[in-house]
Structure 1
């Protein structure tokens, strides 16, 4: 599957397009465009321009209005831009019309995320999940993707005028391709079902240890925290979706062993097909006894990111579990100090970290921690809280188990 891949060797210039609507003001749209730019850069594209337009809703034909589309076309032509990326998922009709007008590659947010997942997938499991999601995305868009193949593969359906020896169902190339893709999807689902059985068996064989899962928005520092706790070398970098495959490690704090998993990060408008394909990967979240919800407190929209993660957890059946909010990156937190004569109401952007910690977060007690995984700030407090929580869960579940009092010398990877 190479339909969406943008390799670094073929880096292209790109412009981004988003709408300002009644439900999405200009500040939020600009924030979403910044995230879309980060996604594009992660995929290897070079973003050179961002376009926005105020509309009540997306134009059903061209997403933006006719005048704005012409403005984008003029810029793309004059600057030889190779790609236009839209912040919302486009229909086949929209893609076909926009592509016909702009004459360049058109991507939407979903296809861009799928592209990144295709780049990041390393194991057979992840590659199978991504390929299935790509086919699910492609299927309703075959009219656009395969128009050059739309020709009669047989006769005219058995009626008059059919050539001798070619009379038959009159299946078009488009229908054949659709049938091939459906067959491939069925095969991939079967492969995933087999892998899921293996994973389920592995989870059952892990013994009576409490399971803790790191969850959170993408690029909030989950893998860095995983490395600190497990003394391992899980891949971590400042790019979106650095982690695709769930990694599980046995971690020991004092004399207490437990299993810690690092899962794929969530994001706004995470494609439904991708969530569906990755449900087996997210089984670690559903079966966890305790969630560590990692939040990037330095991000201006961290509260919305918390809501997105909570909604995604609910969608995959992981809501309602014991959870600790881990506010990471306190070393990167910044605020705008108001001038003495500034009488405008204070906002979250004007609060110091100490003042922010005394807002709604103060009511959460030890269900809310503030750390810097990179600078190793407040890590002892973090370990202490996790230790006490895991110990309480263990004693509750295994009251007669002397497992806590065994000695363990090192962490180990759990397959």
Structure 2
């Protein structure tokens, strides 16, 4: 499978731009966009923010601010400009003409990171589909230099097909082939889920904002070696392991899923439906929260929004407030477990440090109680397999 064209230059110095439309949730310091850029291998060298009541139809930021961005880009040596919001194809094209530099938006940046990080066949297919769908709307921006070609015999033959029309048709064919391949993989994953359901395995999925520490927690709980790093979207592919909780609770299935983020492109939600389905089909969600992040309340709200979009809003949740070791002494919890009200629901909460191992015993005990209760309700008290590895990709 040929991967989609990579548009963003690795290690390029970039200028970050953001617009506050007064709707709330605006990252005035562009910290998350900077993290995304570094995760993609880019080097932020300057940033600019402004306020507007509404996006400018042609240039998103207006002609005056676009000129200011161009001056700052030249002064700082930036070779690309990245906006924290989604741009329409026309806005992107007009900005590139005005600035004389490549311009990308948050959606393209996230797609680029996903393309770099996908490892499994399914993950690569999902990224390929999302990137192709994104690029198909921007062909007019990338191929405007190509002229109408002539067809027929001789120089005076009838007009041929525009190159852009050929490119659009080729991308359309590739999207169809990629979607067909992805459907086959989704069927295989659905079969694997049905097998687990027939075994009546208690299924737990880790969800949460990207870089909350899900993979580190996953490794600590099941002694696995899943990739974990202090960066956004370190893990894209769902990994599942068995976790033995004792004679009464037996063995559960624990899955590590892709992290969520603010303004996650809808194309990615659609393309990653099979991967995110692990969360929708789970018996319990461990919602991992970066306790040390000052904006963790907003991040929790974003996770809840994505869960609702994938049909997992009603799945029981336990909040796992991670990274307590990064808190100041006066900010650390007085108890490892308590209750937390989230969007009208009273949820159990456990404080842990996946890296240091603090609070993991309390979390295992909570999982054991949930699994034992589920086994008692189903009448299956014989679910006590030996621990093993059931990696699923």
Give the structure-1-normalised TM-score.
0.86
The corresponding residue for 1:322 is 316
Q: What does the per-residue CA deviation read over 1:191-210, in whole Å, with 9 as the maximum and x for residues that have no partner?
A: 00111111112222232211
Mapped to 1, the partners of 2:385 and 2:270 lie a distance apart of 40
Mapped to 1, the partners of 2:335 and 2:369 lie a distance apart of 26
Q: What does the per-residue CA deviation read over 1:86-113, in whole Å, with 9 as the maximum and x for residues that have no partner?
A: 0011111111111111111211000000
| Shift of residue 365, structure 1, vs aligned partner | 7.2
Q: Does 1:250 align with 2:229?
A: no
The corresponding residue for 2:278 is 284
The corresponding residue for 1:35 is 32
Mapped to 1, the partners of 2:191 and 2:341 lie a distance apart of 41
Mapped to 2, the partners of 1:56 and 1:24 lie a distance apart of 12
| Shift of residue 360, structure 1, vs aligned partner | 7.8
SS of the equivalent of 1:280 reads: helix
**Residue 383 (structure 1) aligned to one of 357, 364, 367:** 364
Distance 1:366 1:321, change over 3 A: closer
CA contact (8 A) 1:84 1:107 kept: yes
Mapped to 2, the partners of 1:174 and 1:66 lie a distance apart of 29
**Residue 175 (structure 1) aligned to one of 165, 189, 207:** 165
CA contact (8 A) 1:19 1:29 kept: no
Mapped to 2, the partners of 1:100 and 1:181 lie a distance apart of 25
Mapped to 1, the partners of 2:334 and 2:57 lie a distance apart of 45
Counterparts of 1:318-397 in structure 2, within 5 Å, are 318-334=312-328, 352-354=331-333, 361=340, 367-397=348-378
SS of the equivalent of 2:285 reads: strand
| Shift of residue 5, structure 1, vs aligned partner | 5.3
SS of the equivalent of 1:63 reads: coil
Mapped to 2, the partners of 1:132 and 1:86 lie a distance apart of 23
Counterparts of 1:391-406 in structure 2, within 5 Å, are 391-397=372-378, 399=379, 401-404=380-383, 406=384
RMSD (Å) for aligned C-alpha atoms: 2.5
The alignment of Structure 1 onto Structure 2 pairs a total of residues equal to 384
| Shift of residue 246, structure 1, vs aligned partner | 0.3
The corresponding residue for 2:217 is 225
CA contact (8 A) 2:336 2:352 kept: no
Q: What does the per-residue CA deviation read over 1:32-61, in whole Å, with 9 as the maximum and x for residues that have no partner?
A: x10000000000111111100111122121
Distance 1:116 1:362, change over 3 A: closer
The corresponding residue for 1:184 is 174
CA contact (8 A) 1:212 1:259 kept: yes
Q: Which has the larger radius of gyration?
A: 1
CA contact (8 A) 1:39 1:240 kept: yes
**Residue 121 (structure 1) aligned to one of 118, 121, 128:** 118
Distance 1:151 1:394, change over 3 A: farther
| Shift of residue 357, structure 1, vs aligned partner | 9.7
Mapped to 2, the partners of 1:21 and 1:359 lie a distance apart of 38
Structure 2 gaps of 5+ residues are: none
| Shift of residue 4, structure 1, vs aligned partner | 3.6
| Shift of residue 392, structure 1, vs aligned partner | 1.1
Counterparts of 1:130-149 in structure 2, within 5 Å, are 130-149=127-146
CA contact (8 A) 2:283 2:315 kept: yes
CA contact (8 A) 1:5 1:116 kept: no
Give the structure-2-normalised TM-score.
0.91
The corresponding residue for 2:99 is 102
Distance 1:291 1:360, change over 3 A: closer
SS of the equivalent of 2:340 reads: helix
Q: Does 1:88 align with 2:79?
A: no
